[in-house]
Amino acid sequence: MPSNKSVSDAPIAQFTNCRLLRGRRLQREDLWVREGKILNPEKLFFDEKGSADVQLDCKGCILAPGFIDVQINGGFGVDFSLATDDFRSGIDLVAQKILSHGVTSFCPTLVTSPPSVYHQILPQISVRNGGAHGAGILGAHLEGPFISKEKKGAHPEHCIRTFEENGFQDLLATYGSLDCIRIVTLAPEIKRSSEVIQELTKRGICVSLGHSVANLSQAEEAVQHGATFITHLFNAMLPFHHRDPGIVGLLTSDKIPAGRRVFYGMISDGIHTNPAALRIAHRAHPKGMVLVTDAIAGMGLAPGRHTLGQQVVEIDGLNTYIAGTKTLSGSVATMDTCVRHFLEATGCSVETALEAASLHPAQLLGIEDRKGTLNYDSDADFLMLDDSLHVQATYIAGEEVWRQDALGM
């Protein structure tokens, strides 16, 4: 049918025979895309008298917004905390490879490192749109070095710092530049954290609490100053105690400012948290769940030894430990595995599992007007999934950037 578009001459694609995740549920609707954005077909019909140029049959697949991974330390042999000569091509490689996991946007994460590493690496990270070359980069996630020594996890103790002396200036000096920083994880019990949190929040940077021994009131104060995220809930923080729930207590705290929501990242690979703990968190605060991989360089590679920043880690199946210890250090799970495991462990609906990996991270970063949903005028970053949530194809800006090979390779 000839199309008569008065607004734009760009071709219009109509994805039919699919179930869309829209309005919090799966609906039998077609997805219309033009110029990399999701189009409102009713407006097209009545205002522009337009119709589709191309129709693609999705064969009954689920169409979901692309996954957003806000904590990923590397993968496929690439370590984002290692300053190498070919750092840029390393990040490009990971961005390209994670398309097959359904990730269309991510925040490359740096663990606690010396200032020289930040000064070398951060200028090489730029916010950019995704495409056939790989997933989009939303900005860096700096997990450290302003964390607690008692809860360092796999982070190198000699690089841990505080900003007690000069507050925000110390942080600036450590990182070098704040361009392209999207999330900072810090321990709120460090003196002058309130002012640092306020300064970061003022600049649109998301502050996350983690690797900390803060109690609940310290955590609540941090939230009141602007913190909105918890880095890998349960891990690297005080355990829940019924008289002082610690950071975990933020999930049900009544001191959260009105209109604000606290999100929490969870690595649902079946190792970092017991499924029962995953369920407790999900049931206590389902709208705050953000699935992350916390993947390290060894993700996507064979078992063995790999680097993670200044440390050496050992991979054995899905477990990754600091070499020679039983300290967990990141994961090798992929985002789609996390989504499937989350679905299975909590028995939640498919919509909830998908939202935890798309809508909630977008809400956390304040970008849900263009990412994380299939609403009209959003970026057309989406996935075709089968009923068991295996990724069949990945699309960025309406273009297919990855497809499951028929041979399953």
Partner 1 sequence: MLTLPQESVCSPSAAQPLDVPMLRPPEAASPRACAEPPAARRRPLLARCFRIASARRGGGSAAAFRSAVLGVCRGFILLYKLFAAIMRLVILEDYDQASEWAAKYICNRIIQFKPTQGRYFTLGLPTGSTPLGCYKKLIEYHKNGDLSFKYVKTFNMDEYVGLPRNHPESYHSYMWNNFFKHIDIDPNNAHILDGNAPDLQVECDAFEKKIEEAGGIDLFVGGIGPDGHIAFNEPGSSLSSRTRLKTLAMDTILANAKYFDGDLSKVPTMALTVGVGTVMDAREVMILITGAHKAFALYKAIEEGVNHMWTVSAFQQHPRTIFVCDEDATLELRVKTVKYFKGLMHVHNKLVDPLYSMKEN
Active site residues: 294
Residue 116 Cβ, how far from partner 1 at the closest point, in Å? 55
Provide the residue type at 288 as one letter. Answer: G
Give the residue with the Cβ less far from partner 1, 48 or 344.
48
Shortest reach from residue 52's CB to partner 1, in Å: 10
> Taking Cα atoms as reference points, which of 29, 34, 27 lies closest to residue 12?
34
Closest separation between CB of residue 48 and partner 1, Å?
8
Quote the least distance from Cβ 398 to partner 1, whole Å: 19
- In the complex, the smallest distance separating the C-beta of residue 24 from partner 1, rounded to whole angstroms, is 16
CB 163 within 8 A of CB 171: yes
Q: Are 214 and 247 in contact (CB under 8 A)?
A: yes
Backbone conformation region of residue 361, classed left if phi is above 0, alpha if psi is from -120 to 50, else beta: alpha
> In terms of residues, how long is the chain?
409
CB of 25 to partner 1, least distance (A): 16
d(CA 85, CA 372): 33
Known binder of ligand: residue 302?
A: no
Is 285 labelled a binding residue?
Answer: no
Give whole-number Cα distances, 271 to 126, 328, 331, 338, in Å: 32, 9, 9, 11
What span, in angstroms and rounded, lies between the C-alpha atoms of 88 and 137? 12
Helix, strand and coil in the chain, % to nearest 5: 25, 25, 45
**DSSP secondary structure code for residue 73 in this structure:** -
When the beta carbons of 44 and 356 are compared against partner 1, the nearer one is 44
- Strand pairing of 263-266 and 319-322? unpaired
Residue 232 is labelled as binding a ligand: yes
Cβ contact 114:161 at 8 Å: no
Q: Is 129 annotated as a binding residue?
A: no
Q: Among residues 55 and 89, whose Cβ is nearest to partner 1?
A: 55
Which of 23, 204 has the CB closer to partner 1? 23
Is 143 annotated as ligand-binding?
A: yes
The SS3 assignment for 5 reads coil
Closest by Cα among 138, 240, 238, 222 to 185 = 222
* Residue 99 known to bind ligand: no
The reply to whether 268 sits in an annotated binding site is no
Which CB, 11 or 115, lies closer to partner 1? 11
Kindly tell me which of 3 and 198 has the beta carbon lying closer to partner 1: 3
376 pairs with which residues across the strands? none
Residue 329 annotated as binding site = yes
Is 38 in contact with 376 (CB distance < 8 Å)?
Answer: yes
Residue 4 Cα distances to 50, 54, 178, angstroms: 5, 14, 46
Q: Which is nearer to partner 1, 52 or 125 (CB)?
A: 52
Q: How many helices and strands (H and E) does the chain possess? A: 10, 24
Element (H, E) at 306: strand 304-308
Burial state string for 267-285 with b = 16 or more CB within 10 A and e = fewer than 16:
bbbbbbbeeebbbbbbeeb
DSSP 321-348: EETTS--B--B---HHHHHHHHHHHH--
Closest distance of CB 189 from partner 1, Å:
50
Positions touching partner 1 (CB under 8 A) are 1, 4, 30, 41-46, 48-51
211 is in an annotated binding site: yes
Q: Which residues are annotated as a binding site for substrate?
A: 154, 235-236, 243, 272, 328-330
Q: Which residues are annotated as a binding site?
A: 143, 154, 211, 232, 235-236, 243, 272, 328-330
Q: Which residues are annotated as a binding site for Zn(2+)?
A: 143, 211, 232
